[in-house]
Structure 1
């Protein structure tokens, strides 16, 4: 016959038992409580002929309260920042399918016109655009005329030099501008592409375009209707 275990030795839950709370001596709350305990003890045992400086004690307590306030403010700011980032993500997700113009010389032509631009460092008497196919063959060259300093915008309709519509695919754009002083400048090129997806990289938002580029929202120069 099997031995019967002594059930009286099994510990039972006692709701009236006192639980021990482990304090964090580095927290502002516990530091304040400890400070007040020490302050009370010092007041009880101070020398009547040489009392403690109440101004110094008040200053120390004020500093503890200030640290506690800063910690609470940091917590509130972190929560607020998280909410703002969440709202930004929701707002940015509505741009999927829209055209965004960002720095880059790659063009994904799919039968519809493409908005492009060049950021001129100074006024130019002549702005020339050259478009090449994926194999490096020049398919179109055009003189866009004079341009002012800043973002010089134009539209490529997907036509080659003979006025024929080019097949869908990837092309590259280069811009050369001649300044009013007769110097040649190579401005930064911007091309547009539809937004494919919006995602996150850590806490940062990322926009992936249909042509394969991944840009930050702050890198988008212009939204195109």
Structure 2
């Protein structure tokens, strides 16, 4: 049943639904958050103005209503409206950035890039792709370890001291004894020493960008010829 509330001394009534809407105590608002979210900030502002005008027209001059609550509610409505507009702007900006990122990624198709390779790389007739290491900070010593598909180490390379950034390394396809390794799949890992302690180092392997894919988080990913799919942001160098 709908009830009315008297405003001022003239006996003018205002729908309880209108008051509940402004006070945030309506049954529909309490029943579910989805009902509340469906009411836009613009609708709340319109409802507020209707109530404010009704109050000003019918309040008792000798006993005016307290306007502090209405002022507080107006501030809250403005906040909700501002947040809603901000969310819309950020969503639009994210879509534009995503489209721009996809366009940039598409330009790399056919290019050779250095990136982390979770699936390793292939060696054919003693020819291996360019390798490298990415360092967030300068290291006093950096070592690359190359293993075959069975997990055995075939080559250990000491690069010595390296500055922060990306360093490339051309492997001649030979093992520690100077013999050409067999054709197949290989992996590379990196280790760094920083101030006498183990540091962070990311091993890299070259691959040709074959296509652009959408990753689970919506960002652009690059499918490489070595079988890896890497985020666009993880590309350390374009060769």
Same fold (TM over 0.5): yes
Partner of 2:97: 84
Q: Taking structure 1 as reference, are residues 60 and 113 closer, same or farther at Cα in structure 2, changes over 3 Å only?
A: same
Which residue among 194, 198, 201 is the counterpart of 2:208?
194
Pair 108,224 (structure 1): closer, same or farther in 2 beyond 3 Å = farther
- Helix, strand or coil for the counterpart of 1:48? coil
- Shift, 1:80, TM fit: 1.6
Q: Are the equivalent residues in 2 in contact too, given 1:118–1:190 (CA < 8 A)? A: yes
2:232 is aligned with 1:223:
no
Once the two structures are TM-superposed, the CA of residue 55 in structure 1 deviates from its matched residue by 6.5
TM-score (norm 2): 0.63
Confirm whether residue 117 of structure 1 aligns to residue 126 of structure 2. no
Shift of 1:135: 4.3
Using a 3 Å threshold, how does the CA distance of structure 1 residues 143 and 60 change in structure 2: closer, same or farther?
A: closer
Larger gyration radius, structure 1 or structure 2: 1
Match of residue 70 from structure 1: 83
- Structure 2, gaps ≥5 residues long: 1-35
**Equivalent position to 1:148, from 138, 162, 165:** 162
**Could you say which structure has the higher helix fraction?**
2
Give how far 1:143 is off: 4.9
Q: What's 1:102 paired with? A: 115
The total of aligned residue pairs comes to 196
Alpha carbons 1:114, 1:157 under 8 Å: kept: no
5+ unaligned residues in a row in structure 1: which ranges?
A: 1-23
2:116–2:230 contact (8 Å) kept in structure 1: no
Shift of 1:116: 1.4
Q: Give the deviation of 1:79 after TM superposition.
A: 1.0
> After TM superposition, what 4+ stretches of structure 1 lie above 6 angstroms from structure 2?
176-181, 183-186
Q: Is the CA contact (8 Å cut-off) linking 2:105 and 2:212 kept in structure 1?
A: yes
Normalization by structure 1: what TM-score?
0.67
Residues 161-188 of structure 1: CA distance to partner in whole angstroms, max 9, x if unpaired? 5465x5653223355778896x998954
CA shift in 2, pair 1:68/1:138, >3 Å = closer
Alignment match, 1:173: 188
Q: Is the 8 A contact 1:108 1:193 kept in 2?
A: no
| Structure 2 counterpart of 1:30 | 43
Aligned counterpart for 1:158 among listed residues 170, 173, 187: 173
Q: Are residue 41 (structure 1) and residue 54 (structure 2) matched? A: yes
Give the Cα separation in 2 of the matches to 1:153 and 1:224.
11
Q: Secondary structure at the match of 1:153?
A: strand
